[in-house]
Amino acid sequence: MIWSAIDLLICSLLLVLALASLFASTLQQRVIFFIAFGLMTAIIWARLQAPDLALAEAIIGAGLTGAMLLMALRQYANLKQGKHREHREHREHRGRLVAQALMLLLTLGLMAVVAALFPISNGAPGYAVEQRLSQSGVSHPVTAVLLNFRSWDTLLELAVLLSAALGILNLGPARQIQGHSVALTDALARVLVPLLVLTAGYLLWTGAFAPGGAFQAGAVLASAAVVIHLTGRARLMRPDLAVLRLLLVVGLLLFVVIGLWPMIGGAAFLQYPQALAGALILVIEAAAMVSIAAMLTLVYLGGHPHSHWPVAAVRVSEPLPERR
């Protein structure tokens, strides 16, 4: 009864935070409520015994997204006319947002009723995974599904993330963010960044037999890059263009190469040898972690990390001397 009451309280708080993030009086309050909404969602995932999703939600949903919203809010605060226009549009569309929120709640309620009346049995797929878990090279069923049994899905997800990262690179130079290089901030960064890197390595290693994996590790590694950027050391976030390209494509490229390798012996694409499956999955996840961290960092920067566009190897010739 106690845990049921706690779960009911958490769900109620989540609903209140969702409404507050939509209907708060100022944009700053909406952003704060949105960050709190992400943290509350992470708590719910933890209560559902999904710590890997809880960690990803806390880092990406509340952390990186919240930081981007705060940066956008700072830039937007200087546009007073736009601010007044936003408030006017908010008042005009308040009724529409309320109607949409009610429709969403009604839809979720109907989905809950249908799920309660017609439960879907998922015992057979889970039983099939458990039966073949020893052949996957890992002992955690989620990692076995994502990196072995359904590795096509993960490969295509990396391709989609890479496409998004390439699109961000073409948006232009990254936004200029004023760092906070003070003694306290630097001291915290010196402690926090190594801990984040160590946590990323731990999540990568433990993904084979416990919740974790490349995505969670990459998100933690990207948060370390964000901390470095906020301390005013943006030059550390500007690798050479060739290095940046390698960081972005190494996950997908190595995934494809390892998937093609079994085809030499007559096996199918992404059908790893059982004796080497665990080691190959670890290599794939390590490369994917690096690429995911680079992609999420680019999402935070909002553009090319260099202050100027890379100049191609084309020189403007000097004007020819006039003929006489």
Is 78 a domain residue?
A: no
**Per-residue pLDDT tens for 109-123?**
666 665 566 554 444
Is 57 a domain residue?
A: no
Sequence-distant (≥ 6) Cβ neighbours of residue 253 within 8 angstroms? 287
Report percent pLDDT > 70 for the chain.
Answer: 71
Mean pLDDT of 237-244: 73
Read off the pLDDT band of 311 (50, 70, 90). very low
Is 299 a domain residue?
A: yes
Is 173 a domain residue?
A: yes
Report percent pLDDT > 90 for the chain.
Answer: 7
Question: In the predicted model, is pLDDT for residue 71 greater than 50?
Answer: yes
Is 52 a domain residue?
A: no
Calculate the alpha carbon distances from 235 to 2, 29, 125, 311 in Å.
51, 32, 49, 19
**Per-residue pLDDT tens for 120-162?**
444 445 556 777 777 778 888 878 888 888 888 888 888 888 8
| Structural domain of 243 | 139-308
**Per-residue pLDDT tens for 170-202?**
777 766 655 555 555 677 778 888 898 998 898
Question: In the predicted model, is pLDDT for residue 60 greater than 70?
Answer: yes
Is 145 a domain residue?
A: yes
Stated pTM of the model: 0.70
Type of residue numbered 185: T
Read off the pLDDT band of 30 (50, 70, 90). confident
What's the structural domain count of the chain? 1
Sequence-distant (≥ 6) Cβ neighbours of residue 73 within 8 angstroms? 27, 28, 31
Is 166 a domain residue?
A: yes
Calculate the alpha carbon distances from 121 to 112, 125, 141, 142 in Å.
16, 9, 18, 18
Q: Check residue 321 and give its pLDDT.
A: 47
C-alpha distance across the termini of the chain, in Å: 100
Is 304 a domain residue?
A: yes
The larger pLDDT score, comparing residue 111 to residue 313, is at 111
